Each structure stands twice: as structure tokens, then as C-alpha cells.
Amino acid sequence: MAVQNGQENVIEYLINHGADVEKATADGHTPLHLAASLGRLKATKFVLCHGANVGREDKDGFFKELSQGAKVNKGDKYRMTALHLAAQNGHLNVTTYLLIQGAEVNKGDNVGATALHRNAQNGRLDITEYLISQGAKVNEGDINDLKDIHLAIQLAIQHGHTSIIEKLVSEGADLNIQSTDGQTSLHKAIKLCNKSEEIIQGTDTLKDISDEYYKGELSPEKALVFYLLENGAKLDVKDKAGNLPIQYAKDEEIKQMILSR
């Protein structure tokens, strides 16, 4: 509980009074596993400084751990490394520390997803920016080329993380890469416009598009389609069903947006 709450003073007291830093739960999680997975960087370092076995695994093989000599690139049974988990859970400080300790920024898990893919689902722009600054490849697919699931730009679109979409585009993300079903980012974005709930995060960029071209009345989902078109999304790419992006448009405003190009 002290590790979970990041209470370093309590952790120190317990260790000084004989607490076993290697004691594991029924799932095999030690205090070190818990500290790292929850982003408790100070607690992680403190436990390591007091004799935690950096090679210790839990039952799934998580976290081969975080300090000199540690196997930071070792994965669990799904080949997810500590970096995947830190990025997926939105822990910038742990992500930074892992990369300093030698974590491989483009290492894939068992489906080839990298830390960038995992964070594209999470939506933390600061982590996306840091991963890219450390060499993360924005157009990386997975080992089986299943880009339908594991292309960062499409993951960001599907989860509505516009700030990450804009960052990936600015870093050269290819909007016209096709997934296993033949669909591009434009196909995916247009299909979002057919849903009743709003998914896309509003940003200044999308608001400016709405204000300048549609008198402020364009939804973020529709503004994203406009944004993708402005940034090179192609209209003539057919998916494996033989459909162009426009054929997924049910909204007349989207159809006119495309036909006016």
C-alpha cells in the first residue's frame, strides 16, 4: 500500500524495520513491480537502493528492472516491456527514466506494437513528443504488418486524440498507408462521423477550421476529416471492399467537403 501511494517515508520506515522488499503477492508482483507499473519513480528508485533484486520477475515476466545491469528490454509473456507499460499508463517520468537506462524505443511486443502505439491509445501528448524525440518511428507497423491495429496515426484517430494526430502528422506520419482491410486514416476518420457520440478531442486547430470555413458550426469529427484532407489524405484509395473514403460518408456536409476538392 505504501508503494502504491508513493509514500517514500513509510517505505523507508518499513524497510528499516525489516520489511522484505522481495516479498511478492499471489500474482508475483513485488514492491518494485508495483512502483514501476504505477509510475512511482521515487518509490521505484528507493526500493532499488535498498536491495531489490533487479532481475526479479513476476509470474508474467514483468519488468526486468530499471537500474544499472537491469534487463530493461526484457518483455513479459506478451513481450511487453517496462517501456510499453509506462507509456501505456501515461507515466512520463518512468518513460524518461527507462529510456535513459537503455530501453529500446522501437521495440515491439508480440504483435509488434511499440511504446508509441501504446501511448497513441492513451493520449498523452508529452509522452508522444518525448518518444519521437528519442527516435520513435511514426510509420512503424507491427511485425505481421497488421497496421489496422498497430499504426500509431490510426490508433490516435480511433481513440480521438487529436493533439497526438497533429503531432504525428507534423513528424511525417503517412496518412495514406493502408491497413489490412485496405483502409487509410481518411476512411477511419470519415467512419467516426457516422457515430452518434463525439469521440474526437477538440483542439485549436480544429476550432480554427470550423471558424474559418464553416462559421464555427463544424463538429470536431468533421473538422478532423477536413484537417486530414488539407494534409495530404488521398480521396482515390479503395479499401479491400472496393470502397473509396466518400462511400463511407453518410453526412451530406462530409460528402460536399470531399466533392469540392
Classify residue 114: in a domain, yes or no. no
Number of domains observed in the structure of the chain: 1
The residue type at 209? I
Q: Model pTM?
A: 0.79
Q: Is residue 261 assigned to a domain?
A: yes
Is 184 a domain residue? yes
- Look over the chain and give the mean of its residue pLDDT values, rounded to a whole number: 81
pLDDT per position as a tens digit, 75-131: 666 777 778 888 989 999 888 987 887 789 999 888 889 999 999 999 999 999 999
Cell of 233: 489524405
Q: Is 230 within the bounds of a domain?
A: yes
Among residues 175, 172, 169, 93, which one has the least CA distance to residue 126? 93
Taking the C-alpha atoms of residue 184 and residue 237, their distance in angstroms, rounded to an integer, is: 8
Q: If you ran DSSP here, which 8-state letter would residue 170 be given?
A: H
pLDDT at 54: 40
- CA–CA separation, 91 and 38 (whole Å): 8
The answer to whether position 233 is within a domain reads yes
Q: What is the CATH number of the domain that holds 261?
A: 1.25.40
224 in any annotated domain? yes
What domain range includes position 233?
Answer: 175-261
